[in-house]
Structure formats: structure tokens, C-alpha cells
Amino acid sequence: MLLLIGFPEDEVERVREMYADTIPVSAEMEDKVLENIIRERKHPENYQVLGSQRIVIMHDIPKEELSKIINNIRKKINAHIIFATSTPTSLKWKIGNLMEELLEEDRYFREKRAK
């Protein structure tokens, strides 16, 4: 399953064409816990983009599939995207808190590469 955060609707549809098991995370879901979103598998009725940074959370995907998914999404979406896999710890986090953590990690690694 892929969870998409910060993607406009047209990009969500492009990813869905490749991977049907995709859930867009809407602004109304910011306070929801990741594992609850995964369990419910509910698509938001009134989708509103959450945040300005595109994030893909890959859940329960075999390791050998990860790079293929990342490469395919990068081919379809020409933007900076943060890719992450779910972990036992991240499953317990609220989406808003998880986003903050992923954004901080991304800033750290981008600054490190720039040096």
C-alpha cells in the first residue's frame, strides 16, 4: 500500500494508475494515526492537499519492490518526493507528527549532501 501526502489530485491519479492500492492522505487526516488510516483503507471524501511537500509512505511492500516503485513514481512526477517505509514506531504516530519527522530528516540529508 502507498500513502500519498502533499500530492495534488492529478498526481494522485497518475500514481493510482500504476498502483491501485494507494490512499491519498487529506488535510482532514493530519491528526489520524498512521495504522488507523492503513486499517480503514478509506479514501477521503473531500480531498485537500496536506502540506506542500510530497511524501510517499510505503507500507507492507517487499524490499525488492521498493526501488522499482520509487523509480516509477519519479518518472511520472517531476518534483522532490520524500519516500519512506512504515515502521512499527511510525505506525503509532499521527500523520502530522510523522510528516514533521520526515521533513526534518530530509532537510538533514539534503544539507549533508550539499556540503
What is the residue-level pLDDT of the chain in tens, covering all 115 positions? 999 999 999 999 999 999 999 999 999 999 999 999 999 998 888 889 998 899 999 999 999 999 999 999 999 999 999 999 999 999 999 999 999 999 999 999 888 888 7
Contact 54, 5 (CB under 8 A): yes
The answer for residues whose C-beta is within 8 angstroms of residue 39's C-beta and 6 or more apart is none
Entry pTM: 0.93
User: What pLDDT is attached to residue 44?
Assistant: 84
User: What pLDDT is attached to residue 114?
Assistant: 83
Q: Which residues pair with 49 in a beta bridge?
A: 26
Each domain of the chain, given as residue ranges in start order, spans 2-114
